[in-house]
Every structure is written in C-alpha cells, then in structure tokens.
Amino acid sequence: MVKRVGLIMILLALYLGLACDEKNNPADSEETTEGLNLLGLVNNRTLNYFQIDTVTLIPSFDIEIDSSNFTIRISGAGNNWVIKDHEQPLINMLVSNNYILQNGFWRDINGTDTLFYFPLPSVVMMRSFQTNTYWDDITPRLTTDTGDIRYPFYNCYFGFYYEKAYVGTKALTLTPGEFTAYRFDVNLYLNQTDSLPVATASEYYSPSVGLVKIIFNGQGLKRNIYLISYQ
C-alpha cells in the first residue's frame, strides 16, 4: 500500500488535463515537421491549462475527482530555454542540431533558484520526425540533500525510463479554437528492464503553440489536461 500510494504521488507530480471534440486525421506517412516549433518555445509564451484528475483508491475502489488550473510560462532564446510554473523555473531545455533536450531542472536552494544539470540530457523531442518515429531515454532523479524539490510536470518524464512515438495528427477543438495537433504516445517504466509500463500518456502539440492536451493513465490515476488560453 505504501509503495502504491508513493507511486501515485510521483505520478501526480508529473502529469496534468477537460473534454474536447477530437477527430481522427491520420498523418501522411511522408509527413515531416520541426519539433522545435511543436514545443512552442517562444520567449514570454504563456500557456493556461485546465486539469482533471480521477483517482481510483486501492483497495476500496472509491473514486475521487479533482480539478485545477495552472499556468506555464516559457522564457529563453537561441539554444537555452526555461519552462516555468508561473514565475518559478522548473525545467531547463537545450536545443541541439537533432534534438530538444532536458539538460537539467531548477530547485529552490535557500531562497535562490538554482539550476542542476544532468550528466546525460534526455531527449524531449526530435528536431524532425515522420510518422512512427520512435525513441527511448531516461530522465534521472537529482539526488542532493538540500533545497525543496519542485517536480517538473510539463514536457518531461522525471525519474522514469520512457518510450515515445509519433503516431500522427488529430484535429482538436479546444477552448482557444481549433488545432491540428501532433500526437505522441508515451510508455513510462520505473526501470529500463521492466516489461510492462507503470503509466501511459498521449501528448498533443500544435505548431507554434505548444502542448495543447495530455491524457495520462497510471496506477489508479487518470489525468486530463487541456489548453484553455495562450499568448
């Protein structure tokens, strides 16, 4: 029980999602796009989301539903970008020739935002891809004794081994309007040697906007996140 509750809390710290109209619009097998454009990496970009969590409690199987709003802000230029929870930096991203990488994350150390780098950055997005493009990677945990950890919950798989695949496009109707969204399916594992994922996610990105929708399922948690406004 303790392990299961602990896992749910980790998953709750990772992912976020309102109902929308969704229409299938499979991508052409030869379609390519620019991953940098999908992430919406624009200085001073603001993305406002609505999140619904449905949690099935074990062993009672009672269901709890919770909803909330949150705001993501993006700042940076060139090859270096920061993803923020309002004004608090969370994730650091590095743009290379072939990948967009998570090369570290931020922690509050004695009231000062401090960036910690990973020895091996993990791939958040390919710079270019086609239908059925696939990759896998590991985002490690940071092990240090001081400071308050802020768990990243946007665009990363903190502490997990993951497999990610681009599967095509879908037309989405959300509060801000209609989007052509690029869908990526993700499997999350506690260890690279595990055969079954502990959670799965479907992520939807719209060019020049960023993340517009997530559907996340794992260990009794179903989380839906939807973009409700952006600028």
**Domain count across the chain:** 1
The reported pLDDT for the residue numbered 183 is 95
Are 127 and 135 within 8 A, CB to CB?
Answer: no
> How confident is the model over 72-88, as pLDDT tens digits?
999 999 999 999 988 88
Domain range spanning residue 108?
2-230
CB atoms within 10 A of CB 173: 12
d(CA 94, CA 124): 10
Are 69 and 50 within 8 A, CB to CB?
Answer: yes
Beta-carbon contacts of residue 222 (< 8 Å; ≥ 6 apart): 53, 54, 55, 215, 216
Are 29 and 130 within 8 A, CB to CB?
Answer: yes
Read out DSSP for 68-137? Answer: EEEEEEEEEETTEEEEEETTEEEEEEEE-SSEEEEEEEEEEETTEEEEEEEEEEEEEEESEE-TT-EEEE
Closest by alpha carbon to 172, among 134, 133, 127, 215? Answer: 215
Tokens coding 144: 């240090």
d(CA 141, CA 157): 10
Are 69 and 228 within 8 A, CB to CB?
Answer: yes
The reported pLDDT for the residue numbered 58 is 81
Q: Looking at the chain, how many residues does it have?
A: 231
Task: Note the pTM of the prediction, 2 decimals.
Answer: 0.82
88-95 and 80-85: which strand pairing? antiparallel
d(CA 2, CA 201): 24
The reported pLDDT for the residue numbered 17 is 34
d(CA 4, CA 9): 9
The reported pLDDT for the residue numbered 145 is 52
> How confident is the model over 152-175, as pLDDT tens digits?
566 677 788 999 999 999 999 999
Q: Residues in the chain with pLDDT < 50?
A: 1-32
Tokens coding 10: 């980790």
Beta-carbon contacts of residue 191 (< 8 Å; ≥ 6 apart): 161
The reported pLDDT for the residue numbered 167 is 93
